[in-house]
Structure 1
């Protein structure tokens, strides 16, 4: 069971969810939305466990958290994982477009100078802009596009660039999402929940996602889970 994008610190009862995930022996990437959230969120889990905490700077919060970039830079050396970061092109965040771009550029530059990072990326209504920035920072690490909703051309470009993708139940329930999953190489897919935003029951959502991928791939659920576990091992190797 793999959840490569969830917000443990934003769950109603984070400690309870952590216990459930540990009991399920799930592999989890616990993303954060601000640099200030990273230390406390890291303390929710065991350092040697299967849950890893990512250092994040959510594009939707950049405008109100502009002073946290130095903090992000100071803490980047503490983790191999970065997320949730990226760009949001939604109309409601148009006023922060320039700030988002500057912060994301700085983050990718920092990742390049700190060695390869694994980066969980938000690209809502901004897929081309995100891919342009990734192309400008080829040594930033491995980009994992979270809940990708770009066009077919943008998807194909992301695949050519070597991007990975984390997918959840919402993608598996839409025609566009299913079409995308038939295009993405199987070996570059991981499951996610985006809890608590897209799901409040993490284990049930991951089970449903694995079943959905199994159907698309034409295999049984056991084989789908085996592929996902192999994918994760290759990503973090």
Structure 2
């Protein structure tokens, strides 16, 4: 199983969740919301070969934690993944749009200078702005749009730009989400939970709940679950190589 976007450090019992991920042999991309959280979150992955830690600065926190961009620069050489980063165009963050865009561009610029990274990107209510920023840089690595909720026109543009997508059970349970996912090339899809924030049936999703997304994809694609599992694992190998 593959959870390509999970806030492992924000579960009430992160060490136990990490232990269970190791026991269940789940590949987890443990994203962070601030650079200061990276070192502690990385420690959760100790002894867990399939948990990777991603260096992030969440757009909803940028206006409060902008000063951590220097720490981001300091830690970037140690991080093979970048995220959660991006833009959030929701009404409650409209006043912070300028600093979000400025910070996102800085992160992309510095990631490009560092040789590019696999990135997990937030784009809620800001898909066009995120894609406009990505278009400014040639060698930033591989952008994965997590829980994409834009329009089909925006989706088409993202696909043409080489973006990948991580999808979760909650997204797949909605008509709009399933409709968007049906348009994404299968070789660009990975599963995620966005736990513990994302809930299904009032319960926070755990990393192993990506199994629900696998089954939902099987139904959407009209193929056997084993075929879906094979596609997703092949996608992961294509993305990260033989380090899976």
TM-score computed with the length of structure 1 as normaliser: 0.98
DSSP-derived class of the 1:60 partner: coil
Which segments of structure 1 move beyond 4 Å, counting only runs of 4 or more? none
**Which sections of structure 1, spanning at least 5 residues, go unmatched?**
none
1:207 alignment partner in structure 2: 211
1:185 alignment partner in structure 2: 185
2:170 alignment partner in structure 1: 170
The separation in 2 between residues aligned to 1:116 and 1:47, in whole angstroms, is: 26
Matched, 1:220 2:212: no
Matched, 1:145 2:149: no
**Which sections of structure 2, spanning at least 5 residues, go unmatched?**
none
DSSP-derived class of the 2:165 partner: strand
The separation in 2 between residues aligned to 1:148 and 1:201, in whole angstroms, is: 18
The separation in 1 between residues aligned to 2:219 and 2:126, in whole angstroms, is: 29
The separation in 1 between residues aligned to 2:116 and 2:66, in whole angstroms, is: 25
Counterparts of residues 1-237 of structure 1 (less than 5 Å) = 1-46=1-46, 49-199=49-199, 200-237=204-241
Using the TM superposition, give the Cα deviation of residue 48 of structure 1 relative to its aligned residue in structure 2, in angstroms.
6.4
The separation in 1 between residues aligned to 2:85 and 2:207, in whole angstroms, is: 24
Name which of structure 1's ranges 74-83 and 42-51 shifts more when overlaid on structure 2: 42-51
CA RMSD of aligned residues (A): 1.0
TM-score computed with the length of structure 2 as normaliser: 0.95
Q: How many pairs were matched up?
A: 237
* 2:5 and 2:31 in contact (8 A); partners too: yes
Using the TM superposition, give the Cα deviation of residue 204 of structure 1 relative to its aligned residue in structure 2, in angstroms.
4.8
* 2:195 and 2:207 in contact (8 A); partners too: no
